[in-house]
Amino acid sequence: MSRTVLRGCPLCEAMCGLSVTLGPDEEVLSVRGDPDDVYSQGFLCPKGASLGAVDDDPDRLTAPLVRHGEAFEEVSWDEAFAAVRDLLTPLLSSDRNTVAAYTGNPTGHNVAFSLLATRLARSLGSIQNYSPATMDQLPQNVAAAMLFGEPSSIPVPDLANTDLLVVIGANPLVSNGSIGAAPDYRGHLKALRRRKGRLVVIDPVATATAAVADQHLAVRPGTDLFLLLAVLQVLTTLNVTPERTTGLAELSTAVAAWTPEVSSGICGVEASLIENLARDLLQTERAAVYGRLGTTLNQHGTLTCWALQAVNVLAGNLDRPGGMLFPRPVSGGPTTRAPRGPAEPFTVGRYRTRVSGHPEVLGEFPVAALAEEILTPGPGRVRGLITYAGNPARSFPDSARIQTALAHLDALICVDPYLNETTRHAHVILPPPGLLTRDHFDMALLPMGQRNFARFSEPARALPENALSEWEILLRLCAIYEGRSITSAELETELAQALSKSIARFSEAQPHSEQPSGPRQLLDLRIRSGPYGDQFGHRPDGLTLAKILDAPHGIDLGALQPRLNEVVRTPSGTIELTPPTILATLEPPEPGRLVLVGRRDLRSKNSWLHNVSPLAKGKDRSTLHLSPEDASAHGIENGTDAVLTSAAGQIRVPVTITDEVPPGVCSLGHGWGHDDPHARLRVAARKPGVNSNTLTDATVLDPLSGTVQMNGIPVTIRPVSARAEG
């Protein structure tokens, strides 16, 4: 007998609702889009369709591993946690800051982690916190904090209603979008065209998204800030009167010199096109400017994100239907309830890294600093590292150095299902069970969705014998960090009590949960006290987790609505447009160099889906895209190898010649290079690809957020044949 289970997809930010059919032996027979899903209405992509294969990958670890020399031994969970305790306790009891934590990307798709993140960090009690934010969206968070007073308040484009969508440095037809993702992005763009709306893509590369755009502006890498300053300059000359703002006069002064003519010389986009863009944004009632990694991963990331949102504000497109809107997440968030007191100005640098003195930003240090924190001798040197769902050996800048650092640790504990390029250095690997065995709720992603909705998925499969849920693994780690012999059940009770106490501070009702224990209890408390919640009986029609559980296709909570009054949390109570002083000393990037930018692939997710057979099929995806002009200037032929050199390192990579990249720009995806003989990724090793982060320089950062420049890396290129071997 087969049975069908509905599940939220945990593989990207689009949050599709899937329908998984299992056979009598719990084998996955099919994965389809759930046509009745309130959010995704049947959409699915090749990754979602492979969800069963992801879980059934024979290389997935099923028992904890402890390393002795180069060899790993399978051990029991008790033995594994005893090993973790023995490794960490001496470090933690002498200096807690000698143990660092890195929280990788998949934790954002994991409700256990979302609910436990704060406690894990508090239990560890170390300032050494790292995450992909400093190679992803931290510039957007810092810009949101500067403008709106709350770092998590990043608005998303209202795709369903906009008439002019400007996409800067994002490729949603491949990435499915991010911080504004959507199931069936292509369908949204087709609908935009049907209602006579326009799509403008600003990207150095003629991407899949640029290919369907009405206009593609091929900006020079790393110069979007200058283009956006010119858009602001034009807008300030058009007598705009943005509501609820301060600092417009200071902004006008700061951008006065950045006319379209001046900026055009830097960004390579014609002055008249910049001028028209500004006017169109102002004149189109429903217009949205949206940016992602092409705007963040450069030396001016924060200023670029600040300028982008300032354009939305000045053109009257923020907090408007069809413009940029702030979702209202069902499990609540920093702006879904009244403020607790007067707003504090946004500050960074409460503490700094030991070696280079990088300031803390939103409680984290730059990933670019971790290697030197481990490798530089002296008091306080990082000697222990815990990774939760991360692969620094492939995702971090300057791969050679971070790999040396990983090998140098006295304690590396990895919560990860694979023996990969990072975890091969681990002293202990704690593997969570498959994605289908866990509760799924997109707690971290609902604040970035296209509609407000709620969907909770129960496990599709039972937990295998001897497996420990990720929730349980994390609770047991908390107890070790805290040096307590406390059971997981006791810790759960503590967590629920602490959450109830904090809810009681803003709720008149008596917080209590109808869910017995575990993640569901905490989630129920959040939902009931959240913006649609039943407020523990005060609003009987409101939501509880039980009601959401009864609606496996999801509960639609409506289109995104204006909510600026709730969102703005600055000390002045207005959107603060005064530009940061650093704007006065801007240096454009050096022109005329060949630069490397990143590229994503539909059947991939950063570094970790390359071992899943159905997703690994097809031709080699890890090739360097090079323009015909640059190829012929350097004597490089299609399909041959070239040697690419940067300040950080050198790689040998096969070349695909394509006019999708303009002269002066080449592109290569990250997360490849599955050639480590100590990893156990048998499928990925057949097509290992090349690790682009060998070339990423860990010393070039956006000073306001500590985010590393991963796009626009200066490189030189030569054919392999120019010297005998690369």
Ligand X SMILES: Nc1nc2c(c(=O)[nH]1)N[C@H]1C(S)=C(S)[C@@H](COP(=O)(O)OP(=O)(O)OC[C@H]3O[C@@H](n4cnc5c(=O)[nH]c(N)nc54)[C@H](O)[C@@H]3O)O[C@H]1N2
Q: Which residues lie near ligand SF4 (CB under 6 A)?
A: 9, 11-12, 14-16, 44-45, 47-48, 176, 183
135 binds, among Mo ion, ligand SF4, ligand X, none (CB under 5 to 8 A by kind): ligand X
Instruction: Tell me the window of 31-39, 278-286, 382-390, 643-651 that interacts with ligand X (CB under 6 A).
Output: 382-390
Quick note: the x/- pattern for ligand X over 466-485, rule CB under 6 A, is: ----x---------------
Query: Are the CB atoms for 529 and 538 separated by under 8 Å?
Result: no
Decide: residue 626, CB within 10 A, 0-12 exposed, 13-18 middle, 19+ buried.
Answer: buried
- Alpha helices, H only, 268-391: 271-283, 293-296, 301-314, 370-375
169 binds, among ligand SF4, Mo ion, ligand X, none (CB under 5 to 8 A by kind): ligand X
Among 34, 37, 57, 136, binds Mo ion (CB under 5 A): 136
For the chain, the residue count is: 726
17/204 with CB nearer ligand SF4: 17
By CB under 5 A, tell whether 275 contacts Mo ion.
no
The owner of tokens 């593997």 is 431
By CB under 5 A, tell whether 13 contacts Mo ion.
no
Quick note: the x/- pattern for ligand X over 41-80, rule CB under 6 A, is: ----------------------------------------
Among 33, 52, 104, 323, binds ligand X (CB under 6 A): 104
By CB under 6 A, tell whether 327 contacts ligand X.
no
Interstrand relation of 17-22 and 28-33 (parallel, antiparallel or unpaired): antiparallel
By CB under 6 A, tell whether 399 contacts ligand X.
no
233 binds, among ligand SF4, ligand X, Mo ion, none (CB under 5 to 8 A by kind): none
Interface positions, 163-182, toward Mo ion (CB under 5 A): none
By CB under 6 A, tell whether 204 contacts ligand X.
yes
Quick note: the x/- pattern for ligand X over 626-665, rule CB under 6 A, is: ----------------------------------------
Could you write out the DSSP letters of every residue in 41-88? Answer: TT---HHHHTHHHHHT-TTS--S-EEEETTEEEE--HHHHHHHHHHHH
Among 625, 670, 674, 680, binds ligand X (CB under 6 A): 670
Among 312, 696, 705, 707, binds ligand X (CB under 6 A): 696
By CB under 6 A, tell whether 203 contacts ligand X.
yes
12/595 with CB nearer ligand SF4: 12
**Strands, E assignment, 577-710:** 595-597, 624-626, 641-645, 650-657, 665-667
46/247 with CB nearer ligand SF4: 46
Among 600, 625, 674, 680, binds ligand X (CB under 6 A): 600
Burial per residue of 115-148, b for 16 or more beta-carbon CB atoms within 10 angstroms, e otherwise = bbbebbbebbebbbbbbbbbbbbbbbbbbbbbbb
604 binds, among ligand SF4, Mo ion, ligand X, none (CB under 5 to 8 A by kind): ligand X
Q: What are phi and psi of 142, to 5 degrees?
A: -65, -40
395 binds, among ligand X, Mo ion, ligand SF4, none (CB under 5 to 8 A by kind): ligand X
Among 124, 370, 597, 704, binds ligand X (CB under 6 A): 597
Q: What are phi and psi of 283, to 5 degrees?
A: -85, -25
324 bridge partner residues: 157, 318
Q: What tokens were used for 438?
A: 């866990």
595 binds, among ligand SF4, Mo ion, ligand X, none (CB under 5 to 8 A by kind): none
CB of 595 to ligand X, least distance (A): 8
Among 114, 141, 391, 707, binds ligand X (CB under 6 A): 391
**Strands, E assignment, 292-427:** 324-325, 384-388, 411-415
CA dist., res. 717 & res. 340, Å (int): 56
CB of 22 to ligand SF4, least distance (A): 18
19/694 with CB nearer ligand SF4: 19
CA angle, corner 402, sides to 401 and 408, nearest 5?
95
329/449 with CB nearer ligand SF4: 449
**Cα 209 to Cα 165, 194, 276, distances in angstroms:** 12, 17, 21
Query: Are the CB atoms for 267 and 224 separated by under 8 Å?
Result: yes
183 binds, among ligand SF4, Mo ion, ligand X, none (CB under 5 to 8 A by kind): ligand SF4
234/615 with CB nearer ligand SF4: 615
413 binds, among Mo ion, ligand SF4, ligand X, none (CB under 5 to 8 A by kind): none
Decide: residue 576, CB within 10 A, 0-12 exposed, 13-18 middle, 19+ buried.
Answer: buried
CA dist., res. 235 & res. 287, Å (int): 14
516: Cβ contacts below 8 Å, ≥ 6 apart: none
The owner of tokens 């006019």 is 659
Interface positions, 284-313, toward ligand X (CB under 6 A): 292-294, 298
The owner of tokens 């940061």 is 580
Q: At what angle do helices 470-482 and 488-504 cross, to 10 degrees?
A: 90
DSSP state of 252: H
CA dist., res. 286 & res. 722, Å (int): 54
**Contact residues for ligand X (CB under 6 A)?**
12, 104-106, 110, 132, 135-136, 168-172, 174-176, 178, 202-205, 207, 219, 221-222, 224, 292-294, 298, 388-392, 395, 415-418, 420, 432, 435, 470, 597-598, 600-602, 604-608, 670-671, 692-693, 696, 710-712
**Contact residues for Mo ion (CB under 5 A)?**
136
